[in-house]
Structure formats: C-alpha cells, structure tokens
C-alpha cells in the first residue's frame, strides 16, 4: 500500500506531497495524519529552510473524503455524521491548518487541478500559493452542503481576496 503522503528534504527544502492522486487527494484520515507527521518533522529539523506543499495526480485536494464519511455513517455507535465531521476537524483538520500556519519556515503551496472545500483551506494555510494553469478553487460548502467553509477557509479567504470576493466565493461556490 502506498503512503498517503510523501515527504523529502534536500538541501534545506522540504517537499510534502499529497499522494492519493488516484482519488484526487481527499482529506482521508491517513492523508491528514501523514501531513501532520511531516509538518512536525519540518518544525523539528532546523536544517529545513522552506516547505513546498504539493500533490500527486491531476488534483491538489478535493476536500473531505466522502467515501470515508459514507462508511463511518453506517456505524451508529460513532454518532451522527455531523459529530464525526466535528471530531475529524478537532483531531486532525484544524491542527493541520494550525501547524501549517505556525511553521517557522516559509510554506509555498503549488496547486495543480482542483482545490475544493477543505483543499482550498489547506492551500490558503500556506504563505504563498502558486497555481498552475490547470488549477481552480471551488467552495461547495454553502450552496451544495449548507455548511460553513472549514479547514480555515472562512478565516483565510477574506484575507487573501477581500471580503466581497470571499463572500461571493463562499455563498455561490
């Protein structure tokens, strides 16, 4: 089984690659935990001077792992789906964004293909976002899900694009 996240450090530059490209890099539990582990390595290794966050495949990150949530929803002992989403955000989602934003080195996010939902929040947690021509950003929260943008997007987006544009993106997708 291939790792959900690849990490390498060479000549002071660390690269964290989301590696579930065949599934468009959803925020699976393994991907989130692997990314958290890699970010802790960056924090601890004083030889690292910068981090590149990128992804394998034709998408950066499609956000929530809907397959995982569908499986979890079948187990009533885990609580409601809303409770499970909240637990995921508390345990890995929010710590992932907080760790990215607080790293002592610059973080450059290279986005290819779609960044959707939580993938937008993940990208916006970087200090600098570079988008390939194939990149696009989609926030399905309000129009498709009736939910507030997560993974820090509701905080970072207005700071990145301004209040009016952020409201348009969040409310209209």
Q: How many residues does the chain have?
A: 173
Average pLDDT of every residue of the chain: 90
Q: Is the CATH number of domain 5-138 3.40.190.10?
A: no
Going by pLDDT thresholds of 50, 70 and 90, the confidence category of residue 54 is very high
The CA distance from 88 to 33, in Å, is 11
- Which H helix or E strand runs over 94? helix 94-102
- The pLDDT tens digits for 85-102 are 778 888 998 999 999 999
Residue 142 has pLDDT above 80, yes or no: no
Strands (E), the chain: 5-10, 13-18, 50-55, 107-111, 114-116, 128-131, 136-138
- The pLDDT tens digits for 6-24 are 999 999 999 999 999 999 9
């Amino acid at each position: 089984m291939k790792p959900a996240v690849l990490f390498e450090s060479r000549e002071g530059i660390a690269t964290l690659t989301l590696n579930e490209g065949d599934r468009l890099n959803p925020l699976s539990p393994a991907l989130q935990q692997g990314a958290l582990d890699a970010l802790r390595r960056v924090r601890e290794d004083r030889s690292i001077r910068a981090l590149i966050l990128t992804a394998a495949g034709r998408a950066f990150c499609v956000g929530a792992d809907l397959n995982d949530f569908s499986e979890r929803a079948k187990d009533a002992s885990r609580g409601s789906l809303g409770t499970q989403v909240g637990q995921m955000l508390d345990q890995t989602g929010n710590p992932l964004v907080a760790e990215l934003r607080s790293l002592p080195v610059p973080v450059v996010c290279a986005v290819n293909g779609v960044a959707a939902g939580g993938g937008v929040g993940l990208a916006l947690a970087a200090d600098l976002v570079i988008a390939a021509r194939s990149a696009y950003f989609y926030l399905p929260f309000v129009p498709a899900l009736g939910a507030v943008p997560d993974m820090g997007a509701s905080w970072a987006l207005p700071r990145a694009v301004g209040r009016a544009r952020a409201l348009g993106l969040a409310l209209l997708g």
